[in-house]
Amino acid sequence: MDHQEYIVEVVLENKPAARDPVGETIQKDLLAKKGYNMVSNVRSGQYLRINISAANENEAKEIVDKMCNDLRIFNPVTQNLTILKVTQKN
């Protein structure tokens, strides 16, 4: 089967129970002080954009999911991993 190039976008963020002082500082010390009181919470994280060759979208997603788990790209003790989007590269 022909393989295509896909782009898988992944976000890693601290679990809700683990404090995120980066997000807290952005919300409390910048946004709230500059009048953006409508913002009640900010969580920070890491973003990875992965180019991958796969048979289809689903396989691209599965490989990324497996590799992130096997190699601890995210730390399951403190972080959650979300696959945001899979797009085919033109």
Partner 1 sequence: MTIKIAVIQFPGSNCDLDTLYVLNNVISNGIEAELIWHNHFKEAQFDGVVLPGGFSFGDYLRSGIIAAHSPALDEARIMLKGGKPIIGICNGFQILAEAQFLPGALLRNDSLKFICKWVNIKVENNKTAFTSKMNIGDVLAIPIAHGEGRYYTDKLKELEENNQIVFRYSTENGELTEQANPNGSLESIAGVCNLEQNCLGLMPHPERASEPILSPKQTMHGRLFFESMVEFIKRRVS
Binding footprint of partner 1 on the chain (CB under 8 A): 14-15, 17-19, 21-22, 25, 46, 71-73, 75, 77-78
Q: Which is nearer to partner 1, 78 or 88 (CB)?
A: 78
Q: Which residue has the tokens 């048979």?
A: 55
Looking at the Cβ atoms of 23 and 59, the one nearer to partner 1 is 23
Minimum gap (Å) between residue 51 Cβ and partner 1: 17
- Residue 48 C-beta: closest distance to partner 1, Å: 9
Nearer of residues 55 and 76 to partner 1, judged by Cβ: 76
In the three-class reduction of DSSP (H, G, I as helix; E, B as strand; rest coil), residue 71 is classed as coil
- Residues 74, 82: contact at Cβ < 8 Å? no
- Sheet containing strand 79-88, edge to edge, reads 45-54, 4-14, 79-88
d(CA 21, CA 25): 6
Cβ 88 to partner 1 shortest distance, Å:
26
Residue 88 backbone phi and psi in degrees, to 5 = -85, 135
